[in-house]
Structure 1
């Protein structure tokens, strides 16, 4: 077990109501399972998954939209995290075989798990906890005690590992430094970014689209954030529920969102079009974006018109 290494891929998430924030990173290595990746890494903060890697995809991927935006200025970020996970995957193969030997296990299904992370109080700015522990087949194997700077081995099979790690002063210092300095620094950084990300709002471009004169008119809004938004058609100030088709809210590559709603106009006389308008509403924004139904603003092959936040 002396081959355990420390992953630097740790990220965090700010829980709106939380005072104590936790950053945890889990590795799960398995043998004997045919329908499950042999290695899986999951990053979690405040019990919410934000990053995932497994030996099938062989790449680290964000699980929260704000992480995509966070790394826009660092295009090599995910490449580095993937390389770290690939390294841990290789180490895990050795670890699980060594652990099986310690327990005199050969065939069957076996699992080695690692959890590493820290806890930080955002009011006192104090590190209130740190953990680095391993388990085998669902039971504790060995864990690091921050107070004493030594490893705790609840099973005799882990005594050899404890002896090796306790006498490795460099590794002990590195582990302590990570749990008390590096991990909290990353936690603070991501908490701050996510907090500002949740408070921000971005209004969309709104367009009226129509494939042909007999097609429904599509009201399309793209580039808004957050996804707590609504888009609907109304007539004479009243929201319409008939002859409309609502689309789902979809992700854009830059972390913003888009959505659309179609209006069937086959039975509406041209002189009545002015009675219709498309309305976009975003949570936290008082003013709506209103786009009146007008043939002149419908986006076609001949041209396009978009409505920004200052219209309506």
Structure 2
């Protein structure tokens, strides 16, 4: 937008007095009752002109801006083309790129239940969301709770998205009451929120389950048994071969040219 309005405003601001010129461009996607693109030019902290994709017309805020546009219809046509066709197309592509980067193409971020060990607090962890305006809390029977709850800070991820977690101390919660609890994650600007019910089956932990160890343990036992069988067989074979009488001389040796004892 700087390239579009700068020539127009500089025609007016041509004196030796210093003036400030600022440009603002706001692009949005999926925001209700808000234009896809808004562009504004501000001179000396006063709005000089603006355009947006809803009104489909450039709006001058002062008579000198309006006069300049009326006296230059080709310029007005060029500004209009860029305000309502070129720029929206360009920034739509950029918004689509941002959605892919932040994984916000209509899908909500991932929320998981994490626990280091059975005695550790249960963490409800959300990651991959953007922007960094979000709420997260635990509920019991649909009511938000604060006792035995610790809310963590919102932290950045390496890809520009964010993560956060809220912990729940389960030491005083009997297993039969677990399903009365749920974790709620709400992202600012998104109508729906994510509700994750406390269920032991979905908790991810660093502790390996015994069932996961069945196959490697069984394989190790089989390998050890095969080694023992092979070793035992080798020992028995050595003992048997040690007790055998020496082999008789080969008769072929008598035909090999050795002298005979007969006269």
TM bucket by the smaller chain?
A: 0.3 to 0.5
Higher gyration radius (CA): 2
Tell me: higher relative CO, structure 1 or 2? Use CA pairs within 8 A at least 6 residues apart.
Answer: 1
Relative to total residues, which structure has the larger helix share, 1 or 2? 2
TM-score by length of 2: 0.45
Relative to total residues, which structure has the larger strand share, 1 or 2? 1
TM-score by length of 1: 0.39
